[in-house]
Amino acid sequence: MNNKNIIVLKNQGFCFGVKSAIEMLENNINTLPKPVYLLGNIVHNKYVKKHFEDLGVIVLENETRSKMLENITHGSVVITAHGVGGDIYKIINDKGLTYLDTTCPFVKKSSELIMEYVNNGYDIIYIGKKNHPETEGVLSESKMIHLIENIEDINSLSISNNLIALSNQTTMSVYDIENIVIKLKEKYPSIVVLKTICNATKNRQKELTDSLEVLNGEKALVIVIGDPTSNNTRMLEKRANGFKNTLVCKIEDSSMLDMNIVNNYHNIIITSGASTPSYIVDDVINKIK
Ligand code: F3S
pLDDT class of 62 with cuts at 50, 70, 90: confident
Residue 14 Cα: closest atom of ligand 1: 3
Alpha helices by DSSP H, listed for the chain, are 16-28, 46-54, 65-70, 86-94, 105-119, 133-139, 174-187, 199-215, 231-241, 259-262, 278-288
Q: What is the pLDDT of residue 195?
A: 87
> How far, in Å, from the CA of 127 to the mean position of ligand 1?
16
Determine whether the shortest distance from the Cβ of 11 to ligand 1 is under 6 A.
Answer: no
Annotated active-site positions, please? 134
pTM here?
0.91
pLDDT class of 1 with cuts at 50, 70, 90: low
> How far, in Å, from the CA of 235 to the mean position of ligand 1?
13
Q: What is the pLDDT of residue 2?
A: 59
